[in-house]
Structure formats: structure tokens, C-alpha cells
Amino acid sequence: MRELACTTFMLLLGLLVNIHWLASLGNLEKFCLRNMSAAIRLFRKE
């Protein structure tokens, strides 16, 4: 069970690194921040 958790963690970490690397290439970071703030606003509205 512990091995599965470790593998999942490593996959998520790799995904985050890849997303950050892609974000540094373009405006993906700004796009994500805009979407996050919009999602937060929708969440608070409910």
C-alpha cells in the first residue's frame, strides 16, 4: 500500500514540475490564475 502511495506522489510531483515548466514557456500561469480566481468567486457565491 505504501509503495502505491509513493508512486502516486511521485507522479503528481512530476506532473506539477511539467506544468510549471510549461507555464514558464507561455502565459499558462496567468491563465490558470484567472481560472482559479473565477472558480473561487463562483464557490463563494454559492
- The pLDDT assigned to 16 comes to 85
Alpha-carbon gap, residue 5 to 44, rounded angstroms: 32
Chain segment 16-27, per-residue pLDDT in tens: 888 777 767 666
- The pLDDT assigned to 28 comes to 64
Name the pTM for this structure.
0.41
Chain segment 1-46, per-residue pLDDT in tens: 788 888 999 899 888 888 777 767 666 667 778 888 888 888 887 6
Question: Domain limits of the chain?
Answer: 2-45
Kind plus residue range of the DSSP H or E element containing 39 = helix 28-45
